[in-house]
Structure formats: structure tokens, C-alpha cells
């Protein structure tokens, strides 16, 4: 049976992101696998977006039943994948900044006020540096060829030029700064009728 909305200024064929809260709840409670898959895809595309937030509001006062536990898992999986992609993006930028600086890892770590072992955790993605430290890294990478104690710079570039295409740490589709493709996260939630993806 096809999903229909009542007293809602939207149509089920419209993008999920445009559905009002009441339409989304109707789709969760009375929809079918096709509708739930569409909701799942909207959450995967924007894990902290309006659809995910509306679902969380709904889950906060409804007892989990039917498809709701799977949609809760969909949100959790999407956010975990996004956070992993963000960590990888930061690690890629740290590696690129060290390389662009022309300094050894030890010298670069000293210039940003940390240890080489701590810098390694940033470059590997095990630990994400504070945003202020990334700004410092960009500044050091933008001042190439300057030895500590020198007053000038033989080869200066504007800070932040390295990795300038990534001003935020959010997940990014396409190609990383190192030229490697960024795979889109893919998670599958299952119902008795089949997977949501």
C-alpha cells in the first residue's frame, strides 16, 4: 500500500529532506521498506541534518518498535562513518602540512610545540589535534625555508595555502589532498523484509 500524507503540505514523492515532521513520522509508522530506505539514505547523506534530528526527537518519546531500532542504528552508523572520514581528512592534512613545511617531523613538531610521537598520532589519525593546533601547523607550513631564530623568510607562502581546499573537517566526497579517492560510507540496516540500503 502506497504511503500517503494527511493534513500535511507535502507529498511522499517529494525529497525526504522536504517532509515536515508529521510526514516523517507517518512514513516511519505507516510506511514500507521503500519509504524506510529513503529515510535511511537521507540520514546517511547528512548524519546530523534535519531528518536525523527529527527522528531523534521522535525516538525521544516513542518506545522503540518496528523499524525504529533500525533507524536509530542507521543514525549511529552514519555518524560513526562521518567521524571516521573526518579523522582521516585531518590526518591527511597533517601529513601534507609536514611535507609542505620542508622540515623534518622532529623539527615540525618542535615548531608547533609538541613532540614527534604526538605528531605521529595526528598524522596516523589515532588522535585529532585541536583546531587551534591545525591553524598553527598551517602557519608553519606556510613559512618554508625559515630557520628558528631568523627574522625573515626566504620562501614564504600565505598560511593555510596547503590543504586550502579543506577549510572544514567535515566529510568530503571526491578526492583527498593526496590524490586518493574518498569512498562513500556504506552501511546496511536490515528489516525482516530486507536491507534498508
HEC profile of 115-164: CHHHHHHHHHCCCCCCHHHHHHHHHHHCEECCCCCCCCCCEECCCCCCCC
Per-residue pLDDT tens digits for 71-118: 999 999 999 999 999 999 999 999 999 999 999 999 999 999 999 999
Query: For the whole model, what pTM was predicted?
Result: 0.66
Amino acid at each position: 500500500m502506497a504511503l500517503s500524507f494527511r493534513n500535511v503540505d507535502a507529498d511522499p514523492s517529494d525529497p525526504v529532506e522536504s517532509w515536515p515532521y508529521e510526514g516523517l513520522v507517518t512514513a516511519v509508522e505507516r510506511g514500507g521498506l521503500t519509504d524506510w530506505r529513503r529515510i535511511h539514505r537521507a540520514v546517511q547523506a547528512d548524519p546530523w541534518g534535519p531528518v536525523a534530528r527529527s527522528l531523534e526527537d521522535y525516538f525521544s518519546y516513542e518506545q522503540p518498535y518496528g523499524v525504529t531500532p533500525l533507524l536509530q542504528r542507521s543514525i549511529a552508523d552514519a555518524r560513526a562513518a562521518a567521524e571516521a572520514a573526518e579523522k582521516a581528512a585531518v590526518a591527511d592534512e597533517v601529513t601534507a602540512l609536514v611535507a609542505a613545511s620542508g622540515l623534518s617531523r622532529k623539527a615540525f613538531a618542535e615548531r608547533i610545540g609538541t613532540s614527534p610521537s604526538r605528531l605521529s598520532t595526528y598524522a596516523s589519525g589515532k588522535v585529532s589535534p585541536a583546531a587551534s593546533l591545525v591553524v598553527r601547523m598551517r602557519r608553519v607550513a606556510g613559512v618554508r625555508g625559515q630557520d628558528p631564530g631568523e627574522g625573515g623568510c626566504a620562501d614564504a607562502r600565505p598560511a593555510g595555502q596547503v590543504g586550502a581546499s579543506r577549510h572544514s573537517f567535515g566529510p568530503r566526497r571526491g578526492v583527498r589532498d593526496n590524490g586518493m579517492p574518498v569512498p562513500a560510507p556504506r552501511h546496511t540496516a536490515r528489516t525482516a523484509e530486507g536491507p534498508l540500503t
